[in-house]
Chains A and B, each alone.
Chain A
Amino acid sequence: SQQGEEDPQALSIQEGENATMNCSYKTSINNLQWYRQNSGRGLVHLILIRSNEREKHSGRLRVTLDTSKKSSSLLITASRAADTASYFCATAYSSASKIIFGSGTRLSIRP
């Protein structure tokens, strides 16, 4: 399977703390994307990082990519209740037109 795998499967933290989620994949990629899904809704694109990039920022989000370890991490700083959602990584492979989603990390922010 070429699917990315997120770790942990579930994460519960206190509001204001930082949340870190990891994604590992198996073969070389063209890009890796992170998405958020609120309960009952569709996915929302957060960040896309290309294979030649190592780090990207967007507001309170920081994504790193280590192609030698075939892994990526998503850091959410100063978490808020509204960050409660499932987070998915998705990988796009050089020769493919589709992206493959991992099984997700369910993040809960405690008030």
Chain B
Amino acid sequence: NAGVMQNPRHLVRRRGQEARLRCSPMKGHSHVYWYRQLPEEGLKFMVYLQKENIIDESGMPKERFSAEFPKEGPSILRIQQVVRGDSAAYFCASSTQGTGGNQPQHFGDGTRLSIL
């Protein structure tokens, strides 16, 4: 039973380019969460999605960032016109129901984004 799969593991972009991060949740999981982590810090919530719906995007910057979780295929976190401050590790997690409902989240190993 495959876990949460994120790709790529490492992504290098130049300032102004677009970054696309992919996340395939665990089989049977319909809830996906994206987090950002800077070195030596905790995870900062960005967005929570269910299939085809954004449930909570309160942690995501209003500009340049977007997320989707289509009916078919992985969830995508897109960062347009990247800047140096976007350099971080981005983690995806999935669960069978919203975590307020007493279910743990299962994490991928993250995508480490570096902006040159």
Q: Which residues of A contact B (CB under 8 A)?
A: 3, 30-31, 33, 35, 40-45, 48, 50, 88, 92-104, 106
- Asked if B109 lies at the interface with its beta carbon under 8 angstroms from chain A, I say yes
Neighbouring A residues of B48 by C-beta, 8 Å? 97-98
Number of interface residues of B (CB under 8 A): 29
Interface string of B84-116 (1 = CB under 8 A from A): 000000010100001110111111111000000
Chain B, residue nearest A51 (CB): B102
Q: Which residues of B contact A (CB under 8 A)?
A: 4, 6, 33, 35, 40-45, 48, 55-56, 58-59, 91, 93, 98-100, 102-110
A97 touches B106 (CB 8 A): no
Q: Roughly how many angstroms separate A48 CA and B33 CA in the complex, as a whole number?
A: 18
A33 touches B104 (CB 8 A): yes
**Contact partner, A30, options B59, B100, B105, Cβ 8 Å:** B100
A97 touches B99 (CB 8 A): yes
5 A-B pairs in the complex with CB atoms less than 8 angstroms apart: A30-B100, A33-B105, A101-B42, A103-B41, A103-B42
A30 touches B102 (CB 8 A): yes
A98 touches B45 (CB 8 A): yes
B4 touches A45 (CB 8 A): no
A42 touches B109 (CB 8 A): yes
Chain B, residue nearest A88 (CB): B42
A43 touches B99 (CB 8 A): no
A97 touches B109 (CB 8 A): no
B45 touches A45 (CB 8 A): no
List of 9 A-B pairs having minimum Cβ-Cβ separation, nearest first: A42-B107, A97-B98, A45-B104, A103-B42, A43-B107, A101-B43, A101-B42, A42-B109, A99-B99
